[in-house]
């Protein structure tokens, strides 16, 4: 299975602290770590570790952070031939605060991600395609228009998109906040829609009708950063392999749950064997 991911690439600076700060508050006692991240890169690595052959298209800066941001993708043999280095913009950065229960706050400085324009895309994108909304929206729209196969769009972070994109998507993935932003527009196309609900699981709809629901195995969450991206990569792999909706949701929920038990976004992505093991009990 050859999947193309068009998406963001970041270096995450993660501060684990006793609690998340309120507006204007300073919280001390944090511990800092650096991890590769970015929704596109996270989803690419998740799908690769779960059994797909993945090509990533994106943009980094021509700086020292780029090597860190791409390190795990290279280690897991993700094809990064479509990743370009920008001489003017820095590699994207995410500033993440995490509390002891795994809840987080994230601020993203997109950097080179916002220079990933449609001209960087191939004229045709063969095979399945996964996208998110951390690149310029015109690039996302162009990629969808050039796709020839299955298209999954993770509508995150929530922002206005064209009706054409919503109708073309074979699979839309959103969390509860994003689902509220888009409302009934999510269900106007003929594709499937998955709404994730954290520990409460995920529900799959088609034309507004519920087809399946699954809940994740009980785990102790350490850091939820990347768990949603892991879910996206997993649900795509599962559906493309032909799993029935409920089985595919269960597979993706298990993958996301494992990711939440580990610090960092990309370092937390599980292997296929780990997901199958937790599903077996």
Residue 132, domain CATH: 3.40.1190.20
- Active site (annotated) includes residue 77: no
- Number of alpha helices (DSSP H) and beta strands (DSSP E) in the chain: 8, 13
The contacts found for 217-222 with CB under 8 angstroms, 24 or more apart, are 217/253, 217/254, 217/257, 217/278, 217/279, 219/257, 219/258, 219/260, 219/261, 220/261, 221/101, 221/102, 221/260, 221/261, 222/102, 222/260, 222/261, 222/262, 222/263
DSSP state of 261: T
Q: Which two tokens stand for residue 142?
A: 């162009």
Catalytic site residue from 63, 79, 86, 229: 229
In a domain, 27, yes or no: no
pLDDT score at 102? 80
pLDDT score at 155? 98
In a domain, 188, yes or no: yes
Q: What is the rounded CA–CA span in Å between residue 61 and residue 86?
A: 5
pLDDT score at 168? 96
Residues of the domain holding 52: 2-20+32-279
Q: What is the rounded CA–CA span in Å between residue 278 and residue 230?
A: 15
Residues of the chain with pLDDT under 70: none
Q: Count how many domains the chain has.
A: 1
pLDDT score at 64? 93
Contacts of 254 (CB under 8 A, 6+ apart): 216, 217, 234, 275, 278, 279
pLDDT score at 189? 86
pTM: 0.94
């Amino acid at each position: 299975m050859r999947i193309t991911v068009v998406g963001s690439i970041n270096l995450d600076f993660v501060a684990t602290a006793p609690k998340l700060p309120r507006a204007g508050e300073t919280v001390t006692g944090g511990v800092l770590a650096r991890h590769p991240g970015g929704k596109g890169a996270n989803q690419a690595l998740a799908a690769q570790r779960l059994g797909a052959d993945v090509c990533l298209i994106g943009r980094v800066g021509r700086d020292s952070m780029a090597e860190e941001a791409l390190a795990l993708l290279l280690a897991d043999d993700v094809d990064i031939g479509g990743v370009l280095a920008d001489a003017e913009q820095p590699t994207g950065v995410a500033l993440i605060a995490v509390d002891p229960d795994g809840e987080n706050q994230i601020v993203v400085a997109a950097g080179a991600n916002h220079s990933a324009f449609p001209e960087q895309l191939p004229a045709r994108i063969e095979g399945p395609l996964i996208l998110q909304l951390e690149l310029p929206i015109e690039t996302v729209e162009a990629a969808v228009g050039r796709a020839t196969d299955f298209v999954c769009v993770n509508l995150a972070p929530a922002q206005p998109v064209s009706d054409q994109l919503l109708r073309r998507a074979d699979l839309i993935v959103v969390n509860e906040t994003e689902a509220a932003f888009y409302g009934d527009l999510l269900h106007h196309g003929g594709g499937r829609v998955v709404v994730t609900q954290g520990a409460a699981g995920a529900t799959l709809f088609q034309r507004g009708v519920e087809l399946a629901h699954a809940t994740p195995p009980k785990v102790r969450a350490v850091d939820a950063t990347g768990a949603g991206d892991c879910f996206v990569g997993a649900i795509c792999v599962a559906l493309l392999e032909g799993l029935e909706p409920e089985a595919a949701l269960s597979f993706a929920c298990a993958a996301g749950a494992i990711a939440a038990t580990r610090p960092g976004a990309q370092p937390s992505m599980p292997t296929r064997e780990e997901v199958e093991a937790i599903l077996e009990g």
